[in-house]
Structures are given as C-alpha cells and as structure tokens.
Amino acid sequence: MKRPFVTLEQLQEIVKQYPTPFHLYDEKGIRETARGLYRAFSWNPGFKEYFAVKATPNPQILKLLREEGCGVDCSSLTELMMSQRCGFAGDEIMFSSNDTPAEEFQLAAELGATINLDDISHIDFLRNTIGYIPKKISCRYNPGGTFTLGESKEGFQVMDNPGEAKYGLTRPQMTQAFRRLKELGAEEFGIHAFLASNTISNEYYPALAAILFRTAVELKEETGCHITFINLSGGVGVPYRPDQPANDIAVIGEGVRRAYEEILVPAGMGDVSLCTELGRFMLAPHGHLVTQVLHEKRTYKDYIGVDACASNLMRPAIYGAYHHITVMGKEDLPCDHKYDVTGALCENSDKFAIDRMLPEIDIGDLLVIHDTGAHGHAMGYQYNGRLRSAEVLLCEDGSTRLIRRAETPEDYFATAIWE
C-alpha cells in the first residue's frame, strides 16, 4: 500500500501557508535515493549520475542533487542556462539533444559540457557551428528492432520499440561516426543508449549494459578509439501502482558490475566510467500533487472535482497513466466508493482517475496524488488560463520552503502584446 511521505496534520499546516494545488517534494527521500544509487555503483570509480533536468527543472532540486554528487543531463538551451546558474559546469553537464539548433551546441561547448550526438550528420554540423570537435564526445546508439527482456523475476515483461524511436545512430553509423570524430581530433569517446521506459525490473539495466559493453568492445576493435565512458541513460522506473514491486538499485548495480567484469575487463577496458540519467527514478516517488476537493457531481457517474487539473499533472490525461491517490486522513478506511477524479479543464480527458475505488470523499478533503516528482510540474501548461502551481520543499527537519511560486494572471498576460 502506498503511503504519503506527509501526514494529514502536517499537510493541514502546510496548506495554511501555501494554497492548493501545489507540488510537494521530500528532501529526505531525494537525498536517500541519490545516496543509494551511488552506493550501488561505488564499485565503478568514475560513476556519475547526470540527473535528467527535463524531469524536474527546479533550481533548488538541482542544487540539492549537486550536493549529493550528481551532474545534470540537459536537452535544451534553457536547461543548459538553468544548470549554469545552479553552478554546474564542465564534466558536470551532459548535453543530450536531438534536432539541435546551433546556439544550443554553442552554449554546451562554452560550458565545457560533454556533448552526446544524436545523429551522424551532427558531426559536421557541430564542427561548422563551434569550429572544432571536442576532445571528449559521445554518440547515442539505437540498435533498432524491438527490445524485449522477457519474463523477469518480478513477473514483468519489458518491451519497447527502439526501431520506431527518432533517436540515435544505427550500428554501422556508430563505427563511421567514431572514425570520423577521431579524424577530427576527438580523443575520448562515450556511448549512450535508451531502450525502454519506466521498467519495473532489476534485469533491464544489466541487459542494457551488456548490449552497450559488447558494442563498446566492437567499436574499440574496429576504430581504435579510446572509449572512456558509457552512459546507461534512464529507463529504471518506479512502481506507480501499489501492487507493483519497486526496483532494487543495489541488485541492479550488482547486475551491471557482473556484465562489466564479464565483457569489458577481459577486453582491456576496465577503465571505463559509467554514468546514468535517472530522472524518474530519482524524483518521481518523492513528489506529491496536493489538491483539495471542491465539488461532487452525480450524473451518469460519480465525479469528484478538485482544484488541480491536467495543467498541474498531464500524464493521466495524455497517457492514461495511473497515479495513486490517497484521501488524507482516510488511509485505512475501506475503498468502497467508485469515483472519477477530475479537474476543471474543458477537456474530457482532464481526469486524474477513472472508476477508481476510494474511501468516501467529502467536500474539502485533501487528496495526495502520488509519484509526481518527475514529469509532473515540468509538463505543466496554461490551457484555459489555468496557471501552473507552486512547488514546495518539505525539508529534512520538517519545515517547508517555497521553491517556486505559483503563477499569477500577470505572468499569463506578460508575453501578450496589448496594443
């Protein structure tokens, strides 16, 4: 059973200061997850987590993660700018972009970021843009086809379709790219790949690692390039549903270590550093969307109307994604009422839950929508003039800190031309 990281009593005090809806983050949980990840990969001396900024682009969250030794993975100009303002520089920044404008490559180069190229044509585009090829560079690999892990110990089948993804180079292109980059002065090479999203399996990362490690050995033999780092990317998921098992990062790290020692070490590549970009794993469980019940509507169904909407959390509306809901103060009551939990947008998809069995809900109840710490506030928008909400950090000492104020109508009007 999922339990919020905050009590009803705590929340009642917090909402006196910050009106609902708002996203609430748990500092203690974030730090513990970061430390657990670093313990799991401590066997690899050069290991570094490059947090995917797109998951939770809040400066205070990024600074917190930097304190825990994390870098950042950026995919746009503004993400690079935010990271720079937060104090990240040089090897602390990975720039993984696609369909990239020249100005973004320029800033990445100025910051000393490690550039991860998405296409073979970007080699000359980068060179023409900044005037040189960096001595340290990476290429994103797409093996094509369908990736299937099969039945895991957790009883969950992992399957995705890299061949339909717009990202990365083919296997022959990887060889061509490394040779070309070496000709142009590159000295340190990296490999990146992302094959499946939000996997609930301790076997995914080791399977991905084995694919990348074998590819690295082949590329070294074919091109003579010195491969110094391999980016395992993201894809390690979180259990959005209460009946799903959580990934064990210690088990995952051990599985990657075995593959490393079986494949890279015998090939004389025991100096390769590993890195990850685990946005969802790092943050999703440590964020709640807090909202209050405004209305109950009984027509063909029983609708609970809350003061949050898809502007605050898009995933259920656009993906049909499941997010667990806790009715605060009623955690132990029977879930014997069936509701659709809805927001106020003029879209029928603006529903946080459909036919969800919950305890009986009353007007004024506080609801916690779980696992919104990644791809929650970050995906917000302003349709219907519904404004993006505040972000609040629950500090380790139990106090709270506003880390992003709620938008105001003046923010909404600020970019309009009135005359």
Cβ 75 vs Cβ 51: under 8 Å: no
Tokens of 48: 């570094």
3-state secondary structure of 295: strand
Burial code (b: 16+ CB inside 10 Å, e: under 16) for 305-344 equals: bbbbbbbbbbbbbeeeebbbbbbbbbeeeeeeeebbbbbb
Residues 158, 387: Cα–Cα separation, whole Å: 36
Residues 392, 48: Cα–Cα separation, whole Å: 27
Cβ 293 vs Cβ 363: under 8 Å: yes
Is 74 a catalytic site residue?
A: no
What region, left, alpha or beta, does residue 235 occupy, with left being phi > 0 and alpha being psi -120 to 50 degrees?
left
The residue annotated as part of the active site, out of 86, 225, 346, 395, is: 346
Measured in whole angstroms, the distance separating CA 350 from the mean position of its chain's CA atoms is 23
Residue in this structure with the two tokens 């302003």, named with its chain if needed:
382
Sign (positive or negative) of CA dihedral 78, 100, 137, 378: positive
Q: Which residues are catalytic?
A: 346
